[in-house]
């Protein structure tokens, strides 16, 4: 699949649109709990320029309660089935559970967004068995308590080491290296200072040789800096994109796809003094369906 072919990576970050199928999501307040509305939202994000969609049924925001496995499956499966059939872009499943990952991959997803990392060997086996890709995310602690007292000796060195070890373990277990993405897990057991150190040094993670995924969209650290509530953090989310500007292969996980695409196109135009096209990894050209 083209998504995992390093040679077809566009000259810009890939944009992963967020489709939350959760009633308690911190940023969109569960507005898309109804699965048909979640599907419609995903299709809107593709029209706005998303290169892939990330579907999640369990909120991992700080303080969130875990969801029963059957409930998580009931939330995500119909949405993934529909989007895999209709969206025309790859789908990832945002989950910590091997069974949810397996069912989602069989329903048409092609990437596991492993927000708890690959500590559970059956998650690795699932990725391997289904020939999927995996994004390995660093998280200190559990969502319910991870923000109580995050602590590191050297946050950057520890997370680079964690991601390096996790990626080489995944390779040793047989996962195709082209199908591994790495993510420092902004806000997942990190203070503001930890997040800023990571954002300023993503090149250290990129040096490991894998695509780097950044999930900063509307997150709490933006509010800690500017004082703005979650519904008013689009400008801060765009500013955070500067953290991936010079990375060879980056993916940005965002709620606001149209704003992100516009930001990245203008940034690209200035850097290269040319008007870019918005080409997807499969070579197809995105065209805005809302002409001026």
**Catalytic residues, which ones?**
219, 253
- Min. distance of Cβ 283 from ligand HH2 in angstroms? 25
Nearer to ligand HH2, 75 or 253 (CB): 253
As measured in angstroms, the least distance from the Cβ of 212 to ligand HH2 is 10
Which position has the token pair 């496995």? 69
49 vs 215, beta carbon nearer ligand HH2: 215
For residue 206, the surrounding DSSP H or E stretch is: helix 202-206
| DSSP β-bridge partners for residue 254 | 17
Q: Please give the angle made by the CA atoms of 150, 156 and 160, to the nearest 5 degrees.
A: 110
CB environment 99-135: b (16+ within 10 A), e (fewer): ebbbbbbebbbbbbbbbbbbeeeebbebbbebebbbb
Give the residue at shortest CB distance from ligand HH2: 215
Q: How far is the CB of 274 from ligand HH2 (least distance, A)?
A: 31
Residue 30 region by backbone torsions, left for phi larger than 0, else alpha for psi between -120 and 50, else beta: left
State how far the Cα of 110 lies from the Cα of 113, in Å rounded to an integer: 10
Question: Whose Cβ is closer to ligand HH2: residue 33's or residue 64's?
Answer: 64
Decide: helix, strand or coil at residue 14.
strand
For the chain, the maximum distance between any two Cα atoms, rounded to a whole number of angstroms, is 52
Closest separation in Å from C-beta 137 to ligand HH2: 5
Per-residue tokens: 143: 């969502």
Instruction: Please name which of 162, 53, 47 lies closest in space to residue 116, comparing C-alpha atoms.
Output: 162
User: Among residues 18 and 45, whose Cβ is nearest to ligand HH2?
Assistant: 18
Tokens (6 digits) for 145: 């308590």
196 vs 265, which CB is nearer to ligand HH2? 196
Contact 251, 2 (CB under 8 A): no
In the complex, minimum distance from the CB of residue 92 to ligand HH2, in angstroms, rounded to a whole number: 8
Of the pair 9, 26, the CB lying nearest ligand HH2 is at 26
217-254 in b/e form (b: 16+ CB < 10 A) is bbbbbbbeeeeeebeebbebbbbbbebbeebebbbbbb
Residues that bind ligand HH2 (CB under 6 A): 18, 20, 22, 25-27, 56, 59-61, 64, 94, 113, 115, 135, 137, 183, 185-186, 213, 215, 253
- Least distance CB 187 / ligand HH2 (angstroms): 7
């Amino acid at each position: 699949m083209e998504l995992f072919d390093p040679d077809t990576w566009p000259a810009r970050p890939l944009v992963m649109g967020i489709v939350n199928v959760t009633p308690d999501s911190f940023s969109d307040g569960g507005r898309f709990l109804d699965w048909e509305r979640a599907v419609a939202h995903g299709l809107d994000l593709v029209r706005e320029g998303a290169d892939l969609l990330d579907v999640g049924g369990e909120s991992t925001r700080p303080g969130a309660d875990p969801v029963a496995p059957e409930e998580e499956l009931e939330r995500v499966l119909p949405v993934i089935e529909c989007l895999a059939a209709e969206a025309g872009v790859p789908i990832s499943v945002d989950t910590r559970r091997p069974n949810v990952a397996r069912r989602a991959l069989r329903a048409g997803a092609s990437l596991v967004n492993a927000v708890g990392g690959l500590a559970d060997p059956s998650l690795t086996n699932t990725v391997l068995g289904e020939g999927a890709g995996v994004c390995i995310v660093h998280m200190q602690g559990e969502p319910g308590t991870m923000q109580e007292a995050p602590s590191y000796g050297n946050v950057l060195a520890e997370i680079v080491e964690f991601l390096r070890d996790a990626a080489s373990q995944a390779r040793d277990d047989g996962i195709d290296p082209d199908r591994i993405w790495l993510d420092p897990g902004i806000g997942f057991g990190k203070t503001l200072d930890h997040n800023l150190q990571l954002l300023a040094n993503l090149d250290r993670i990129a040096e490991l040789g894998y695509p780097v995924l950044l999930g900063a969209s509307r997150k709490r650290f933006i509010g800690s800096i500017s004082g703005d509530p979650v519904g008013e953090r689009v400008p801060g989310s765009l500013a955070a994109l500067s953290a991936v500007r010079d990375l060879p292969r980056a993916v940005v996980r965002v709620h606001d796809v149209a704003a992100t695409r516009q930001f990245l196109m203008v940034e690209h135009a200035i850097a290269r003094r040319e008007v870019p096209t918005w080409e997807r990894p499969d070579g197809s050209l995105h065209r805005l369906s809302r002409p001026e």
